[in-house]
């Protein structure tokens, strides 16, 4: 079943006395693009996190954020670097005196420098943290995928109805084209009669005129191809998950066939029906942009 490219997923996983929260949002995009906003202890795992996303999602622009809340700083994999805190304090004090600033230093000034906090160095803590991060990311992606699938199913249902409308319009055009054959043949005979009456008749021109007139009457090939495209479009929606590029191509081919019918029509009702089909194809194009 087709999957939408838009959705939202989130998850929470406890670790010691802390809680890791992951939230992922996805939007339409031609390719897969992943942006991460990670808590400092999780930053070293950015590459691995993006690899997890790529295993789950094929297309879309994704924004993934991971935060950690806890009472004990070491429980969330962070600790203070006293040497860097002192160095930054000395630097700020010197800057304050040089600039003649009377304002006292506050915690807010120190928080401008991410260097004062660093990940816990122990390998076992890092491994435990990664396992929790991996779990919360996978759960958030599962939540996202469920929403994308629900939205994709709704889009597929609506699109299937529109493709059904196109198929019925093809039947109508085929019927109208057959009904106008006698009239078209009569016009062809009159045109040939005029050519025969021409004393300077060119045999090659006569055969060309007959071939062109016959081709303008016949819309069988266009209708057969349109019907085939509609059937393939429906099967793709029902049976495949990654459908965006394939459906976009099919709609381009449908539009090409309808344009040919418009050029051949010379019949108000056929032209009107073909224009209805072009409008429906354009609506389908807009919807396909939402599918993975």
pLDDT of residue 124: 61
What are the φ and ψ backbone dihedral angles of 113, each rounded to 5 degrees? -110, 105
Between 37-46, 128-137, 142-151, the lowest mean confidence (pLDDT) is in 37-46
Question: Over the stretch 140-160, which tens digit does the pLDDT of each residue have?
Answer: 999 999 999 999 999 999 999
Question: Over the stretch 55-67, which tens digit does the pLDDT of each residue have?
Answer: 999 889 999 999 9
Question: Which residues neighbour 111 within 8 Å (Cβ) at sequence distance 6 or greater?
Answer: none
CA-CA distance, 241 to 179, in Å (whole number)?
41
- Mean pLDDT (the chain) is 84
With 70 as the cut, is the pLDDT of residue 75 above it? no
DSSP output for 230-285: HHHHHHHHHH-S--HHHHHHHHHHHHHHHHHHHHH--SHHHHHHHHHHHHHHHHHH
Answer yes or no: are the C-beta atoms of 75 and 41 closer than 8 Å: no
pLDDT, greater one: 97 or 178: 97
CA-CA distance, 17 to 71, in Å (whole number)?
7
pLDDT of residue 199: 60
pLDDT of residue 205: 66
With 80 as the cut, is the pLDDT of residue 32 above it? yes
pLDDT, greater one: 107 or 212: 107
Domain ranges of the chain: 7-77+121-148, 79-114, 150-288
Give the CATH number of domain 7-77+121-148; options: 3.30.230, 3.20.20, 1.10.10, 3.30.70. Answer: 3.30.230
With 60 as the cut, is the pLDDT of residue 109 above it? yes
pLDDT of residue 96: 84
pLDDT of residue 64: 96
Strands 32-38 and 60-70: parallel
Share of residues in the chain with pLDDT > 70 (%): 81
Between 80-84, 128-132, 210-214, the lowest mean confidence (pLDDT) is in 210-214
77 backbone φψ class: left, alpha, beta (φ>0; ψ -120 to 50): left
pLDDT of residue 48: 94
Count of beta carbons in the 10 Å neighbourhood of residue 238: 12
Answer yes or no: are the C-beta atoms of 79 and 120 closer than 8 Å: yes
pLDDT of residue 73: 47
Answer yes or no: are the C-beta atoms of 64 and 35 closer than 8 Å: yes
Question: Over the stretch 276-285, which tens digit does the pLDDT of each residue have?
Answer: 999 999 999 9
């490219």: which residue's tokens?
A: 5
With 80 as the cut, is the pLDDT of residue 86 above it? yes
With 60 as the cut, is the pLDDT of residue 93 above it? yes
Q: For the residues 204-232, what does the mean pLDDT come to?
A: 76
pLDDT of residue 82: 86
Helices (H), the chain: 46-56, 82-99, 107-110, 123-179, 181-197, 203-217, 220-239, 244-264, 268-288
pLDDT of residue 212: 61
């Amino acid at each position: 079943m087709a999957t939408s490219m838009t959705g939202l997923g989130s998850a929470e996983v406890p670790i010691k006395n802390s809680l890791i929260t992951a939230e992922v949002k996805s939007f339409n995009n031609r390719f897969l693009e992943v942006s991460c906003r990670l808590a400092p202890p999780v930053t070293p795992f950015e590459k691995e996190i993006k690899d997890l996303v790529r295993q789950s999602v094929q297309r879309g622009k994704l924004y993934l954020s991971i935060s950690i809340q806890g009472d004990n700083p070491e429980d969330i994999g962070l600790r203070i670097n006293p040497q860097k805190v002192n160095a930054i304090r000395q630097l700020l004090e010197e800057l304050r005196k040089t600039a003649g600033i009377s304002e006292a230093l506050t915690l807010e000034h120190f928080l401008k420098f991410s260097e004062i906090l660093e990940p816990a160095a122990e390998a076992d803590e890092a491994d435990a943290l990664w396992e929790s991060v991996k779990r919360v990311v996978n759960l958030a992606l599962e939540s996202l995928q469920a929403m994308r699938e629900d939205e994709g199913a709704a889009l597929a249902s609506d699109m299937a109805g529109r493709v059904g409308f196109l198929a019925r319009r093809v039947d109508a055009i085929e019927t109208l084209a057959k009904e106008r054959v006698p009239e078209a043949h009569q016009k062809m005979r009159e045109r040939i009669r005029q050519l025969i009456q021409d004393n300077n008749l060119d045999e090659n021109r006569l055969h060309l005129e007959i071939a062109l007139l016959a081709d303008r009457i016949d819309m069988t090939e266009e209708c057969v191809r349109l019907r085939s495209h509609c059937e393939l479009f429906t099967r793709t929606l029902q049976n495949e998950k990654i459908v965006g590029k394939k459906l976009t191509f099919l709609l381009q081919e449908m539009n090409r066939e309808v344009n040919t019918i418009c050029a051949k029509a010379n019949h108000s009702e056929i032209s009107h029906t073909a224009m209805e089909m072009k409008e429906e194809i354009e609506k389908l194009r807009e919807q396909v942009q939402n599918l993975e």
